[in-house]
């Protein structure tokens, strides 16, 4: 069965060092899981390690109903990130990319061509392949997060939907950011402002959706939850006035769960697991 959405790129275990637990995650993985939780069909393309961390991610994908027929299992350690929570907000320390770098092959590109929506982003280490992905994909979504302008300028011409984050500390207006990015070539732009909601525009129309006010447990993965709901809406031809408020509400609700989508496990339960050493590869 052809998926509605293919998520290609990064995966990681988020290691909460102060508690000795880890959660599966990564932008591409998180978006795929959220798509299936909403009721969509998602495939994950990426590379997992043969250690316990890789098993944790693979098992969680299976439990969440994400298709993994094009997921690679490579000898070595899985990617991981060090996370600390301060006031419910996540703070990252250096981790390791493990075996997660890979080159999309002909089979991957064929799947992208037959799928309504493909998603990847700035953590996937696929920058050199974005032009190829853009040509192959029916519709390519890219999460730029808070990357600098030269990064956006280089890749935005190859994508259909550009997603950016504009923190409260920024002096840039979301509408101005969106206009600058639209001028680079994407047909649609979304600018997320976290707790303040998100803006969608295609240049001729704009929809801003506020985020509901709720106490949060963990903001990790909230942006990916937002993206997942937006992409399901796009694949099903919902209008922005429908999918944008649904997405901000869904993203806020995701903050009630620890980790990006749960599935906590103990760190270091095998000798090949991440050991909370704050090293960078």
Most confident segment among 40-44, 264-268, 271-275:
40-44
Beta bridge partners of 74: 49
**Is the predicted pLDDT of residue 264 greater than 80, yes or no?**
no
Q: pLDDT at residue 279 above 90?
A: no
Q: Is the separation of the CB atoms in 96 and 80 below 8 Å?
A: yes
Residue among 23, 100, 85, 82 at smallest CA distance from 266: 23
**Predicted model pTM:** 0.89
Q: What is the side-by-side strand order in the sheet with 89-96?
A: 89-96, 80-86, 12-16, 21-25, 265-266
What tokens does 93 get?
């320390």
Average pLDDT over residues 26-37: 95
* Weakest mean pLDDT among 100-104, 150-154, 195-199, 201-205: 195-199
**Closest C-alpha among 136, 139, 145, 188 to residue 30:** 145
Q: Work out the average pLDDT over 60-74.
A: 97
Task: Identify the burial level of 148 via C-beta atoms within 10 angstroms of its C-beta, where 0-12 means exposed, 13-18 middle and 19 or more buried.
Answer: exposed
Question: What pLDDT band is residue 19 in, cutting at 50, 70 and 90?
Answer: confident
14, β-bridge pairs: 23, 81
Q: Per-residue pLDDT for 188 more than 80?
A: yes
pLDDT band at 214 (very low <50, low <70, confident <90, very high): low
Identify the pLDDT of residue 133. Answer: 98
- Show the domains of the chain with their CATH numbers: 5-264 (3.40.1190.20)
């Amino acid at each position: 069965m052809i998926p509605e959405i293919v998520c290609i790129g990064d995966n990681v275990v988020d290691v909460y060092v102060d508690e000795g637990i880890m959660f599966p995650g990564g932008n591409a993985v998180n978006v795929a899981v959220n798509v299936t939780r909403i009721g969509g069909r998602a495939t994950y393309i990426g590379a997992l390690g043969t250690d316990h961390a890789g098993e944790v991610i693979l098992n969680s994908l299976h439990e969440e109903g994400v298709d993994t027929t094009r997921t690679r299992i490579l000898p070595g350690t899985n990617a991981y990130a060090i996370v600390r929570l301060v006031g419910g907000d996540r703070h990252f320390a250096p981790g390791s990319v493990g075996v997660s770098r890979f080159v999309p092959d002909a089979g991957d590109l064929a799947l992208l061509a037959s799928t309504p929506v493909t998603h990847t982003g700035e953590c996937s280490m696929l920058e050199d392949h974005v032009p190829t992905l853009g040509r192959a994909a029916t519709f390519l979504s890219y999460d730029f997060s808070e990357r600098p302008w030269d990064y956006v300028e280089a890749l935005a011409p190859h994508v259909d939907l550009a997603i950016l984050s504009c923190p409260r500390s920024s002096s840039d207006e979301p509408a101005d950011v969106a206009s600058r990015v639209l001028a680079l070539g994407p047909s649609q732009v979304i600018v997320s402002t976290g707790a303040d909601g998100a803006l969608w525009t295609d240049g001729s129309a704009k929809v801003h959706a506020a985020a509901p006010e709720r106490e949060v447990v963990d903001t990790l993965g909230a942006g990916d939850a937002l993206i997942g709901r937006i992409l399901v809406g796009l694949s099903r031809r919902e209008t922005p006035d429908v999918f944008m408020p649904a997405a901000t509400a869904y993203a806020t609700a995701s903050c009630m769960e620890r980790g990006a989508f749960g599935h906590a496990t103990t760190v270091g339960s095998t000798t090949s697991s991440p050991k909370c050493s704050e090293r960078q590869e």
